[in-house]
Structures are given as structure tokens and as C-alpha cells.
Structure 1
Amino acid sequence: MRNVPLIVPIMTAFLLIFFLMGSHASASYGWGYKKNTDHKIPDVGKYQKILDDYGAYYADHSGDKVIYLTFDNGYEQGYTDDILDVLKEENVPATFFVTGHYVKSKPDLIKRMVDEGHIIGNHSYHHPDMTILTKEGMRKELEELEEAVAAISDQDELKYMRPPKGVFNEKTLEWANDLGYIHVFWSLAFADWNTNDQKGWKYAYDQIMNQVHPGAIVLLHTVSSDNAESLSKLVTELKKQGYSFKSLDDLVMKNMLPEAVYGY
């Protein structure tokens, strides 16, 4: 018993070191980058190596004047049909990252997205912070969403995911890979999700045109009336400037195949 006073502080110190090491290993990050108006891919600092290590994307670094439109859909405000109309008219592909609530409440729109050639991405079923889940919890979130989409559309497999609120860490990136998913972040976005603070189509138009760059993965929200009203004008102007619109499948394929095979 004479050793107890010595053992207690040693054990306390050991547990503290273990806790700190564990906390560091599972530290979470919120996606972000340094915006610029130079029409260049924004710098993401230390995130670049992390994304490279796990095959994640936030932009196309080839230098080609290509844009990848992506939309996050958690709920519906009545503008998605208008957005789909523009995409169809302009022959522009997009990826829609959806939640379980969206799939359950708007199956007709999910079906239309798929029928018109767009990709459904996984934004999780319940929109949780993925970094606080176990691997099994993450698997359940992704599989539930995938099954819900497959039940109402012809897309029976999802392969791209966007973590809720852009929160991630190396653990979630690794687990996503294990589960067959590729993380897709973004290199162009603005505050468009507040439905009570829409500023008119010109605001959305200017935000995108000021930040646009070759290889941009653009994040938009379909709840924005500004986005719906500006989209046709944006697509028209960007095509005039020599940009083309591709899907995430094109981006991944480009990075898998030799340049000569892909045709660039």
C-alpha cells in the first residue's frame, strides 16, 4: 500500500498523455480555403496533402477550363425544378448531394435528377458530424441514404460523399475509402443557404463570376432563389468565356487514365 501515492500520479499522467494523443489523432477540421479573385484555384494549405493521401477532391488541377456544378440538398424550397429546367436546357450535368430528409420528402425530384442524367451524391441520412461517429455509425449513415435513393430511382449505387457542414478528419476520409466512397469538397462557394437573406440574382452571379477559375468544383444550394434566377445567365456567360461543364465522373476518370487516352 505504500506505493499507492506514487502509482496514482503516474497513472494519471499516463492517461492524460493517452487522451491528448488520441485527441490529436482524431482532430476534426472544417473545410475552408483562402478565397481569391485572381481566377485561380484557392490555396487549401495543409489540407492539400490530406486530400491527396485519401484521393479526395476539391478542384480539378489540370488547368482545363472546366466547371463541376454541385448542389447540397437538405430540404426543398421550391426552386429545384427551375434549376433542373436550366440544366436540361443547357445540357449541363450536376451532382446533387442529398440527405435522408430530402429523399423521403421529395422522391419525385430525386427520380427526375437521375432520369435526366445527374449524379446523386451522399450527404448522409441524418446530417451528423461524421467525426464523432464510429466507423459502423458512418457506414449506417451512408448505407441508409444509398438504399433510400436506390428504392426510388435507377441509381442503385452512390460513390461520392460530401460530409455535413464540411467537417472531416483523416479517420473519416480513410473510412469513406474503405466503404467505397470518394470525398468531394469545393473550391467555390458563397453564403447562399440563408433563405431569409437572399440578395437578388445579380449577387449570386457576381459572387460566382468573381471567384470562378479553371477546374472549379462549385457548391450551391437549391434553396436559394438567387441561384435559381442566376443560373441560366451564369451558364451562358461561362460558356462564352470558354468554360465547359463536366460531371464528377469525368473528373475522376481524367485522374485515372493517361492524358492521351482521355483525349485532353
Structure 2
Amino acid sequence: MQDQTQIFGIRAVIEAVNAGENIDKVFLQKGLKGELFSELESLLNRNSINKSYVPVEKLNRLTKKNHQGAVAHISPIEFHDLETLVMTVIESGKTPLFLLLDQISDVRNFGAIIRTAECTGVDGIIIQKKGGAPVNGDTIKTSAGAVFKIPICKVDHIKDAVFYLQASGIKVIAATEKTNEILYDVSFTEPSAIIMGSEGRGINPSTLKVVDAKAKLPILGDIESLNVSVACGAFLYEAVRQRMQ
């Protein structure tokens, strides 16, 4: 019932969740009813598994098999525990650098960011369980395999991760246009974490209220913003530049 990245069929997905499979996202047929389907929905909710209701045509494109209205994507990586990772990095004696992604939705952007993060020595990437791009074949390809080389943590809410990082002595810096502070005037030499927002909405306003610093890139042309993966690269390499001096 399963290939490397997919499980299909309502009962098969239920069994996979109960068996502790590393499920990244489940696609459910919009408007479907029934006792077994309701059981699956409840199970996904209890386990905070990302789900999306889609037309049957979308499911038919995902698999040619009898999906019965449910297709699950399996993550090719094991996710790390945030608290354990932060503690390990701090105890190693190096100056931590973390990256938080607030619901980046495009898998190519996600993969490109992972690749840049690995190249710039980021200690871990923190993503939200719901609303972001999945870790799938496209992510692996765009990241050039970096997804296997850098720890990735999933949390219920990005804001909770911000509070935990701050409590651990790590300064949280938001990449946002909603500030007058330029990137090059912000210090990244102390323990730091950078938040990048989603392609359309940016960083959640409630999260922006609790960060330690905000910074933006100078825009000299007519287009108001950069692609998020390009902006992320600029932020990370500024951190690298400062730390190499």
C-alpha cells in the first residue's frame, strides 16, 4: 500500500498514523463522509498532522491507485526535537545560528533556503507543523541533498519556538519590510535566530510583536521585495560576514 513517499487508502493512512510513520501531510477528498473517514479526520487532528481538503481530481493526479479519498505524503527525513537540538548546540560551545520559517509554502523556495542554510552553517531550521511546504522529492532536489545534512524541527506554533529560543539566550531577528532598521546595522555576532515570513503574507503579525529585532534589506529598484529564498541568503551571509571578522 505504500511507496517511498506516499500512502493511499483511508485505513492504510489510519494504520500509518497509529504506527508512528513520519507523515508530512495528508490530502483528503473534499465533501467525503463516512465513519472511517471521520475516524481518520479525528486521528489527524489529535496528532496535529497537516491536512488539506482537495477535489477528487487532485487525488487522482497524486496516485492512479484506489485512494478512497485519502493520500498521505511521508517525510523522507526524521524531524528533530527543538529543545534537545538547542541544548546540544549551546553545549557544543559554538555561537548558535537558527532559522525559523513562518509557513514558506513553495517547495522550491523551501529547498533553496535549506541549501543556503546548510552552506552558511545554520544549526537548525524550525518550521510549523501546519501551513508550510512539505519535505518531499522536489524539496530534496532543490536543496541538492542538504535536507539530509541539517536538522529540521517541527513545532505547533512559530511563536512558541521564538519564546523558547529567547529563554535560551538566543536573539530572534525578523526579516521584514515593516521596520526602518537595515540588515547591515543589526548584530548577528551573538547567539541568533532569523525568521523569514511566507511568500504572500510575510511574518505573522503576532510573532512580529515578540521578536528582539527587525531588519530589512535596502531595495534600490522599483520592485518592492525580493524572493524569500534570495532574501534569506542575504540575511544568512550577512551573519556569516560578521562572524568571520
- TM score, norm. by length of structure 1: 0.33
Q: Which has the larger radius of gyration?
A: 1
| Higher share of residues assigned strand | 2
- TM score, norm. by length of structure 2: 0.35
| Higher share of residues assigned helix | 1
